[in-house]
Amino acid sequence: MEIKGLSGIGLSSAFPLDKATNQTNALEGAGKFFKELVGKVNDISQQSDQAIQKLATGENRNLHETMIAVEKSSVSFMFMSQVRNKALEAYQEVMRMPV
């Protein structure tokens, strides 16, 4: 019985990855996520501004709806800020890792 070596088999052959392509895909995915997040927060903020203007001009007499819109805008902005902060912390942690 003859046992042959496992030449040419390694992690790179088991998981063939093109590093440049994977980094590009990851960066595009993260960029797309943040672009959509900022866009949604901006839309909510504009809706809040419109609700305030309508209340100030007397077009809308529902103060509670205006306050809900303002709070929704505030919460969405705080959420976006926390996501950004966590992403920066993760990046900084990766950069501190020894190579």
pLDDT in tens, the chain (99 residues): 565 654 554 445 544 555 556 667 777 888 898 999 999 999 999 999 999 999 999 998 889 999 999 999 999 999 999 999 999 999 999 999 987
60 close to 66: Cβ distance less than 8 angstroms? yes
Sequence-distant (≥ 6) Cβ neighbours of residue 45 within 8 angstroms: 73, 76, 77
Residue ranges of domains in the chain: 35-99
